[in-house]
Amino acid sequence: MKLKATPLSYALAMALFFLVALNYPFVRALLASMGGLRLGNVTDALLVLSALYAALFLMFFLTAWKRITKPIACFLLLTAAPAAAAIQGLGFEFSPLVIRSVFKTDLVEARGVVSPAWFASFLLLGLLPSVLVLRKVEIEHPPLRRHLAQKAAAIGAALVAAVALYLPNQLFFNSFADNATNHRLKNMVVPFNYLDALGGFLGEEWASLRPRGGGAAGGPGRGHADAGRGRALAGSGRRTVVIFVLGESARARSFSLNGYARETNPRLARRGVVSFTRFEACATATAQAVPCLFSSLGEKDFSYQRAEETDNLLDVAQRAGYQVTWYENGMGAQAVSRGVTEVKLGSYYRAERDRVLIDRLPTRADVVAAGKDQLIVLHERGSHGPDYAARYTPEFRAFTPDCDSSVLKSCSHDAVVNAYDNSILYTDANLDDAVEWLDRLGPDFNTALLYTSDHGESTGEDGWYMHGLPKSIAPEDQTRVPFIAWFSPGLAEAEALDVDCVRRLKDRPYSHDNVFHSTLGLLDVETPAYRAAEDVFRACRAVPPAPPRSASAPRGGGNGS
């Protein structure tokens, strides 16, 4: 037996279901922000919920047309249920960047989010209601003229109700809208939060489809083709090998090298590395941060379209004669490794712990046989949540009890932080092993290691979890990342690099905008894209000036020796 409904009754029922069942995390957070269940607070909350119910009703009523009513209802149910579960279990915040990350994710990352509670929510609040709407509800649409009149009347009634609700309570609504906490509450309202983020993402994609002018020489639409080598490293008589480690979700605050009370970097501390304490990420999610930090554009001028049209750090290094290899164990290279050799570890379905990156490095004999200077990029899975405990092995379980659930809110805050800190401790060991690998190459090589993370991470502080918030409202834990440098004595000598001078700069403010120029400077690569003012190490390096090259000199030539 089917339940008969009109567009009006359908919209009223759907709006009520979304308000009560799917916006439960919002209602709970709303009451908490107002101080709990007290009479005055409940009255204020009812004002907000009345406005939300009216907005939900209008959305469903205005989209109730023949042939599209049920498809729209099912789409919203099947997307709102997992979104509400992500908000409830992980404190998820939706933005165009988060939507982009969803499209870029792999099954390993998705499995970390899909908990039994998330799956149950999807079944009970998404799939089951969708089946009921499709099979058990029959919506009887009136003739078109009457239907249009009803919709016009609904809009008019909503406007009258909005005025009647707002005018006597305008002081409350204005203060509520201006409150910074309530900007966060707005991002919890299902389905408007993720629909708005999806619209922003599609707008970015549409804008990227517009034709743009080509870049500089070196391929259609690609810039920075002209790159060569300076005299410092080339004249040392030694080959150069630099490892660039790209971390994941590592925040600077959790590194004992930066003053954290817990000993999370015991091995790096013994290496005498330089750790920069005020280094800012250009974005709070991998999908944007990775292409941004490897580009020459900087955060302010970055766009996905421009990044695709312009040679990045790896392209320029390769043109200058370096053999560039990207080892991938993280969230994907985000098209950054498009022109270089990429070695994929793990799989779309199965994550490897980051030790595999060290195990897969070539032998010294292979490095010698390659006959070229090398830039090696190791992309870690790092400290990506929510399943922090899956990122490290038992011997690194130093801080306990540690949360072993992907439903972070089911664990205490201390347990979440313990698991996260253990993942940083594991990263410390892998970075130390990478330095040890460089050391074993011996005095015939100039070597160095650079490490930074794509973005930081929240572990429940002030209710924030994981990452992906717009930078305008993101807490510092999501935006401040580590930047660590280690130099071999041979490289420091060849470049006349004063490491003590570099150490004195560690507390100055820098950002991902400095990565492109600092790395090329360290590699002794000459290119018009390089800006000395953005090179963190330049002030401490007395590089001899290179002689002018003739116009007929080959582009991208390296020492190859």
CB 7 within 8 A of CB 141: yes
The set of residues, in sequence order, having a beta carbon less than 8 Å from that of 80 and lying 6+ positions away, is 18, 22, 125, 126, 190, 191, 194
Q: Could you tell me which of 8, 91, 113, 12 has the C-alpha nearest to residue 53? A: 12
The set of residues, in sequence order, having a beta carbon less than 8 Å from that of 318 and lying 6+ positions away, is 324, 339, 340, 375, 556
pLDDT of residue 176: 65
pLDDT of residue 412: 95
How far apart, in Å, do the first and last CA atoms of the chain sit?
81
The residues that bridge with 280 in the sheet, in sequence order, are 480, 511
The residues that bridge with 375 in the sheet, in sequence order, are 242, 324
Owner of token pair 């280094």? 279
Return the half-sphere exposure (C-beta side, CA atoms, 13 A cut-off) of residue 268: 28
CB 316 within 8 A of CB 525: yes
The set of residues, in sequence order, having a beta carbon less than 8 Å from that of 202 and lying 6+ positions away, is none
pLDDT of residue 546: 45
The share of the chain scoring above pLDDT 90, in percent, equals: 57
pLDDT of residue 175: 59
The residues that bridge with 541 in the sheet, in sequence order, are 497
Return the half-sphere exposure (C-beta side, CA atoms, 13 A cut-off) of residue 415: 15
H or E stretch covering 180: helix 180-186
Overall pTM surpassing 0.75 (yes/no): no
Task: List, for the chain, all residue ranges whose pLDDT scores fall below the cut of 50.
Answer: 180, 212-222, 224, 348-349, 545-561
CB 344 within 8 A of CB 294: no
- 102 alpha-carbon distance from chain centroid: 10
CA dihedral 474, 480, 481, 485 (to 10 degrees): 160
Owner of token pair 């009803």? 150
